[in-house]
């Protein structure tokens, strides 16, 4: 379960003295660790975004704070394809550097920020385990699954064509600049604030994600 890195912003209402979150990450399976960690610690939040109803059904909500989510990252299909032995669908170019975060690391990080008074009022960046290209990421996933890497790369023109039939593809056209000019995060400030934060390495995260995916797809 990987999602491409994004920045985390936390702010505090002086009147309510309650934390409000704006986390740009992923919805559904990959967004779940955030509300799970907050609700487990008794923190209040309100879910907004594409998968609001599903997350509220599972974790509940509170109007005083929020977690903002969007769709899963671009590498999800790589794991499914590696397990099923088919071609993975990637969005090109695939040789530009990116940062991906192992999703279970995000929940504890969000909770740590919520419990740290010095975190309020400014954005924080979480860079995960460093930069990697989609091609190398896919190669590692297929290698761990014991298969030769196979993938099909969609360029911007293909996304635009698919957008006639799929609203998500239309959104990806607008965001394609992130594929050609990726934003590389610097989380030195976050690590100075929270030196105990953990970022799972790519190889460990890939192994754990594949294990989960294999059990899920087989069942």
Domain residue limits at 174: 2-218
In sequence order, the β-bridge partners of residue 10 are 21, 122
pLDDT for the residue 11: 43
Where would I find the beta strands (DSSP E) of the chain?
2-4, 7-12, 19-23, 47-49, 67-69, 88-91, 97-102, 122-125, 131-133, 151-154
Of the pLDDT bands very low, low, confident and very high (cuts 50, 70, 90), residue 216 is: confident
DSSP string, 105-139: GHHHHHHHHHT-GGGTTEEEE--TT-EEEHHHHHH
Which residue, among 91, 100, 103, 96, has the nearest Cα to 174 in the 3D structure?
Answer: 91
pLDDT category at 46 given cuts 50, 70, 90 is low
Rounded to two decimals, the pTM is 0.72
Question: Between residues 65 and 80, which one has the greater pLDDT?
Answer: 80
Structurally, how many domains does the chain consist of?
A: 1
Band (58; pLDDT cuts 50, 70, 90): low
Which is more confident, 89 or 55?
89
Task: Please list the residues that pair with 11 across neighbouring strands.
Answer: 20
Indicate the pLDDT class of residue 179, thresholds 50, 70 and 90: confident
* Element at 171 (helix H, strand E): helix 167-174
Q: Is the pLDDT of residue 141 over 90?
A: yes
Q: 68-72, 119-123, 197-201: which has the minimum mean pLDDT?
A: 68-72
Asked whether 125 and 99 are in contact (CB, 8 A), the reply is no
Question: How does pLDDT run across 75-87, given as a tens digit for each residue?
Answer: 788 999 999 999 9
Give the span between the Cα atoms of 98 and 88, in whole angstroms: 18
Structure-model confidence comparison of residues 149 and 17, the more confident one: 149
pLDDT at site 159: 85
> Is residue 18 pLDDT above 50, yes or no?
no
């Amino acid at each position: 379960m990987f999602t491409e890195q994004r920045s985390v912003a936390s702010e505090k209402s002086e009147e309510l003295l309650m934390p409000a979150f704006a986390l740009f990450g992923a919805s559904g399976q990959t967004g779940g660790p955030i509300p799970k960690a907050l609700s487990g610690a008794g923190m209040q939040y309100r879910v907004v975004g594409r998968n609001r109803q599903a997350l509220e059904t599972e974790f509940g909500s509170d109007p005083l704070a929020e977690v903002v989510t969007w769709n899963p990252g671009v590498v999800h299909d790589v794991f499914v394809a590696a397990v099923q032995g088919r071609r993975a669908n990637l969005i090109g170019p695939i040789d530009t550097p990116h940062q991906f975060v192992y999703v279970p690391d995000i929940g504890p990080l969000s909770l740590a920020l919520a419990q740290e008074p010095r975190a309020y009022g400014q954005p924080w960046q979480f860079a995960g385990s460093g930069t990697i290209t989609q091609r190398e990421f896919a190669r590692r996933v297929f290698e761990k699954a014991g298969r030769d890497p196979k993938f099909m790369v969609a360029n911007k023109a293909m996304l635009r064509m698919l957008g006639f039939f799929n609203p998500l593809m239309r959104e990806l056209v607008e965001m394609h600049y992130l594929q050609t000019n990726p934003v590389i995060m610097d989380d030195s400030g976050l690590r100075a604030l929270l030196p105990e934060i953990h970022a799972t390495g790519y190889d460990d995260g890939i192994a754990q994600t594949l294990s989960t995916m294999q059990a899920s797809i087989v069942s």
